[in-house]
């Protein structure tokens, strides 16, 4: 599976590093489902504290948790970097990210300055610590298209944190001569397109070809796109400060460039050489399709009123689809890989951890969730149904990850290992 990487047991982090983040992400998804059930009908009001709470639970609690976990695994696998002390570093980052997100959400709901301060300290630690330990290794290597995009994505995350801290300072009453709404727009742009979308693009450059045996993305395209997207987002900062009328223009160009990548990825998936189409292929295709719908809805918003919640729904399912696709690939592989590498006879095959039929059922449930939440933008009572389905979709994912961790721990403690001994010479 990872034939193009320089993976070794010395480079690969312990399995708990990745699964801890993944399990944390599913727990935050449960919290998002809970808030969606009670407040979904009011989310069109962007000033509502619950809207900010759900937004940041999804982006920080869910997406960042899964993405941090994936980066701890993929940087050694795809980029050949060695992250120092991954178990200790990941534990502290996970704690800081989790408690920081809880403090931030509580701060939004209660509008409490002390909670904003606690959230700022914890989240800045989590984000800057992650960026530091990863970027200092990334800058040492000869870059591939994936590693270069990951580097720019991590830089975007740092800027998201800086902008977010500034916004919290303004909400706390600190007098700063900055346009709050313009800064908020840049914060969202870097968060959605610089951190999330650019990371998805960077990962796809390698895993689409590697996992599904597709033609490679055009070489110059893969080299230029991450730099171009990051450059446009940097230009957005200047637009926010001096020429705000151009903000939407740059955002539109960024959205169209990502749509081009989504379309090209769908074409690549169509050209895959493996006959079997498993659930992870369809999760990737579903994500790219929802992004194209997001692009169409964004374009239509220039001419007709489009609910902000509709745009949020489409973009969220673009990112979450990739989360599900990567989880069903990474988790079973890690259990097999770590146990097999340690010489356990009972190391389970990947389909024993996540059976293809189980993953396909999760895909159908995930797709049903999207349909209901899409319709909820026009039939508000469906928000509650969609929240229940979202909870159920992540419950299936949680069960798969938890089962994988239990099986790993059981075999690690009780399984028989192959012992290699050198026969004594006479």
Tell me: the pLDDT tens digits for 307-331? Answer: 999 999 999 999 999 999 999 999 9
What confidence tens digit (pLDDT) does each residue in 43-76 have? 877 778 889 999 999 999 999 999 999 999 888 8
Beta strand ranges found along 233-301 (DSSP E): none
pLDDT at 242 (0 to 100)? 75
pLDDT at 5 (0 to 100)? 41
Structure tokens at 226: 């991450």
Instruction: Assess contact for 152 and 92: CB atoms under 8 A.
Output: no
Lowest mean pLDDT across 11-25, 54-68, 225-239, 412-426: 412-426
pLDDT at 419 (0 to 100)? 64
Q: Would the pTM count as exceeding 0.75?
A: yes
The domain locations on the chain are 10-141
What confidence tens digit (pLDDT) does each residue in 24-39 have? 999 999 999 999 999 9
Three-state DSSP at 344 gives strand
What confidence tens digit (pLDDT) does each residue in 186-221 have? 999 999 999 999 999 999 998 999 889 899 999 999
pLDDT at 183 over 80: yes
Residues 153 and 199: their CA atoms lie apart, in Å, by: 6
Structure tokens at 72: 């701890």
Residues 230 and 198: their CA atoms lie apart, in Å, by: 8
Percentage of residues in the chain with pLDDT exceeding 70? 96
Determine the average pLDDT of the residues in 332-353.
Answer: 84
Q: Give the residue among 154, 264, 252 at the shortest CA–CA distance from 205.
A: 264
197's CB contacts (< 8 A; 6+ apart) are 229, 258, 318, 319
Instruction: Assess contact for 145 and 202: CB atoms under 8 A.
Output: yes
pLDDT at 3 (0 to 100)? 39
Residues 53 and 47: their CA atoms lie apart, in Å, by: 11
pLDDT at 423 (0 to 100)? 52
Determine the average pLDDT of the residues in 225-241.
Answer: 90
Q: How many C-beta atoms lie closer than 10 Å to residue 320's C-beta?
A: 26
């Amino acid at each position: 599976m990872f034939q193009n990487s320089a993976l070794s047991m010395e480079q690969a982090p312990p399995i708990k590093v990745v699964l801890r983040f993944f399990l944390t992400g599913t727990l935050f998804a449960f919290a998002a489902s809970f808030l969606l059930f009670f407040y979904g009908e009011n989310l069109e009001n962007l000033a509502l504290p619950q809207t900010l709470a759900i937004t940041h639970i999804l982006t920080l609690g869910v997406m960042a948790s899964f993405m941090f976990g994936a980066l701890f695994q993929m940087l050694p696998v795809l980029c050949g970097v060695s992250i120092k002390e991954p178990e200790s570093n990941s534990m502290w980052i996970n704690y800081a990210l989790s408690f920081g997100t809880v403090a931030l959400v509580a701060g939004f709901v209660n509008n409490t300055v002390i909670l904003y301060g606690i959230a700022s300290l914890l989240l800045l630690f989590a984000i800057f610590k992650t960026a530091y330990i990863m970027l200092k290794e990334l800058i040492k290597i000869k870059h591939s298209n994936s590693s270069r995009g990951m580097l720019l994505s991590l830089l975007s995350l740092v800027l998201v944190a800086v902008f977010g801290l500034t916004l919290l300072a303004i909400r706390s009453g600190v007098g700063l001569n900055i346009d709050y709404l313009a800064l908020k727009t840049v914060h969202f742009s870097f968060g959605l397109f610089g951190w999330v979308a650019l990371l998805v693009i960077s990962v796809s450059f390698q895993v689409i070809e590697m996992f599904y045996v597709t033609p490679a993305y055009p070489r110059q395209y893969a080299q230029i796109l991450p730099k171009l997207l990051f450059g446009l987002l940097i230009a957005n900062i200047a637009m926010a400060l001096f020429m705000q009328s151009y903000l939407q223009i740059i955002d539109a160009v960024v959205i169209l460039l990502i749509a081009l990548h989504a379309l090209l990825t769908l074409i690549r998936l169509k050209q895959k050489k493996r006959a079997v189409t498993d659930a992870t292929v369809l999760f990737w295709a579903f994500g790219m399709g929802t992004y194209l719908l997001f692009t169409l809805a964004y374009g239509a918003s220039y001419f007709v009123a489009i609910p902000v919640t509709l745009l949020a729904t489409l973009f969220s399912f673009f990112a979450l689809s990739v989360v599900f696709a990567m989880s069903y690939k990474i988790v079973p592989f890690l259990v097999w890989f770590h146990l097999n590498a340690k010489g356990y006879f009972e190391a389970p095959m990947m389909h024993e951890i996540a059976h293809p039929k189980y993953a396909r059922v999760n895909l159908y449930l995930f797709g049903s969730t999207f349909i209901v939440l899409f319709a909820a933008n026009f039939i508000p009572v469906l928000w509650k149904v969609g929240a229940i389905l979202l909870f159920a979709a992540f419950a299936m994912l949680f069960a798969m990850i938890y089962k994988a961790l239990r099986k790993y721990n059981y075999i690690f403690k009780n399984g028989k290992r192959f012992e290699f001994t050198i026969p004594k010479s006479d």
